[in-house]
Amino acid sequence: MKIVFKISALWVLLMFLSSAKTLPTYTKTDLMGAFNPESHDGFTAVSSRYSNQTIYMRKEAHEAFIKMAKAAAKDGISLTVVSGTRNKDRQVEIWSNKWERFKGDDVEKAEEILLYSSMPGTSRHHWGTDIDINSVEPEFFEQGAGAKTYEWLDANAHKFGYFQPYIKKGSERKKGYREEKWHWSYYPTANQLLKAYQRMVTYQDITGFPGAEYAQELNIFDRFVQGIPDLNEEYNGFFQVSKNP
């Protein structure tokens, strides 16, 4: 009797530990960028070979990026990270600068900022899974080295777990930011973070910058946080293949 109890208690403990390992838990702080990535255990600085700035990413996203950058280099494509984790404070700076500069009433200003920039607390750049590669100018990707880089990423990024959340709007993506050929996201972690975000973050959490009070009226969660293509099946498939290439 005693032995049975011990075994089952051990089994429960093991199950608990293994589920804790496979199901990461994220806090609202993680989801909304209210932390300093420098001192966050899950983050690491991007290798200086791939960025000339100090940029942080989640460790697993960084590891996958390095594999992708090495594969790209073999094909003559150079990948560098020009932006990675931006915490809420940084996003408040970006938002507030544009808010000061842009014209129109409050809602018009917010809509103009939202063509390319997120409301603080709603950016995928808070998550440590999303990076901007090589440039954030749309023109850069239209010809020459930029066009070749995009072509390579479009064909290969999925093998390393990366996808482009802000593809051209159309049947696969109906709403949200303008197309961003530079913005790539590490799906395995980002998808978990998105699910946690949908469960945990409410409009009451969106505060601390000019125009925050319009978040609900502007339908920010539905239009922008969810404004990415639905890739579940496709990407789960890729990961099974790409995990052991």
| Residue placing its CB nearer to Zn ion in the complex, 35 or 127 | 127
In the bound state with Zn ion, the residue whose beta carbon lies nearer, of 98 and 203, is 98
Nearer to Zn ion, 109 or 118 (CB): 118
Closest CB to Zn ion among 184 and 209?
184
DSSP 51: -
Give the closest residue to 63 by CA, choosing from 128, 18, 155: 128
- What is the CA 187 to chain-centroid distance, rounded? 8
Q: Give whichever of 30 and 180 is closer to Zn ion, judged by the CB atom.
A: 180
User: With contact defined as beta carbons under 8 Å apart, do 175 and 223 qualify?
Assistant: yes
Least distance between Zn ion and beta carbon 13 (Å): 41
Stretch that binds Zn ion, among 15-23, 64-72, 108-116, 178-186 (CB under 5 A): 178-186
Closest CB to Zn ion: residue number: 183
Collapsed DSSP state (helix, strand, coil) of residue 129:
coil
Q: How far is the CB of 132 from Zn ion (least distance, A)?
A: 4
Nearer to Zn ion, 109 or 183 (CB): 183
Asked if 181 is part of the footprint of Zn ion (rule: CB under 5 A), the reply reads no
Quote the least distance from Cβ 17 to Zn ion, whole Å.
Answer: 36
What is the smallest separation between the CB atom of 147 and Zn ion, expressed in angstroms?
A: 19
Q: How far apart, in whole angstroms, are the C-alpha atoms of residue 206 and residue 84? A: 21
- Of 188, 215, 193, 191, residue with least CA distance to 203: 215
> Taking the mean position of all CA atoms in its chain, how far away is CA 95?
18
Residue of 200, 233, 211 lying closest to 105 (CA atoms): 211
**By rule CB under 5 A, what count of residues binds Zn ion?**
2
Q: Are 210 and 117 in contact (CB under 8 A)?
A: no
Supply the minimum distance, in Å, between the C-beta of residue 174 and Zn ion.
Answer: 20
Smallest separation, CB 115 to Zn ion (Å): 13
Among 121, 129, 132, 186, binds Zn ion (CB under 5 A): 132
CA 53 to chain centre: 19
How many CB atoms sit inside 10 A of residue 172's CB?
Answer: 11
Cβ-based neighbour number of residue 101 at 10 Å: 10
- Among 56, 79, 183, 211, which residue interacts with Zn ion (rule: CB under 5 A)? 183
CB of 125 to Zn ion, least distance (A): 6
Stretch that binds Zn ion, among 7-15, 40-48, 132-140, 143-151 (CB under 5 A): 132-140
Amino acid at 226: Q
Give the binding site for Zn ion (CB under 5 A).
132, 183
